Amino acid sequence: MNILIDLFLTFAKIGLFTFGGGYAMIALIENSCAEKKQWITHDEMMNVTVIAESTPGPIAINCATFVGYKQKGLAGAVAATAGMVLPSFCIIFFISVLLDSFLEIAWIAHAFMGIKIAVGILILDAAIKMIKKMQKKPLPLAIMYCAFITMLLIDIFALRVSSITLMLIAAVISLAIYMMESNAGKAGAAK
């Protein structure tokens, strides 16, 4: 089979069968791409995961792009990424057309009023899990708490400050502190 079609279909299958996204997908990608197809090694898979964590965007997309590029260059990357996105695109597009008329049905609207509460709990849980895995050093913790308080105030008072602005400020502060520390280190070494 043509490798491009194979990439597209393999990732379409992964895209169709992984719910919830993120780490659930890594297991599936590892199973199809490293074990069955032997497109990449387990070591490479580990590396992609690390890179994916340090780059923006869905981890599944990062993996698809990586595997596709390795097999067949730019065309392979496009085929794998498109395959990954296509199933959920079709499903969500279909739902988006129907959702408004669904919500006019009373019991479905009631169900969604309950679901709304669950979503808040899920987001809170995601944050708690990330905090548990975080480095417990003063600087990251301070940035985390400052971002938390600032963002909560922004939300409550509906201020027009973007969360992207907060991230850029955090990046600048962290970079400035790193440069000050490494300068101090050099000055100390010179003496």
Distance, in Å, from the CA atom of 58 to the CA atom of 74, rounded to the nearest integer, reads: 19
Considering the complex, state which of residue 1 and residue 132 has its C-beta at the smaller distance from other proteins. 132
Nearer to other proteins, 116 or 191 (CB): 116
Output the smallest distance, CB 145 to other proteins, in A: 6
Q: How far is CA 143 from CA 134, 153, 162, in A?
A: 12, 15, 16
Shortest gap between Cβ of 17 and other proteins (angstroms)?
Answer: 6
CB of 16 to other proteins, least distance (A): 5
Please answer whether residues 4 and 72 qualify as being in contact, where contact means their C-beta atoms are separated by less than 8 angstroms: yes
Smallest distance, other proteins to C-beta of residue 37, A? 19
Side chain identity at residue 68, one-letter code: G
Q: Considering the complex, state which of residue 38 and residue 96 has its C-beta at the smaller distance from other proteins.
A: 96
Secondary structure (DSSP) of 25-70: HHHHHIIIIIIIS-SS-HHHHHHHHHHHHHSSS-HHHHHHHHHHHH
Encoding tokens for residue 70? 């390795």
CB atoms under 10 Å from CB of 30, counted, come to 18
Residue with Cβ nearer other proteins (5 or 111): 111
Tell me whether residue 34 or residue 83 sits nearer to other proteins (CB atom). Answer: 83
Task: In angstroms, give the least distance from the CB of 128 to other proteins.
Answer: 8
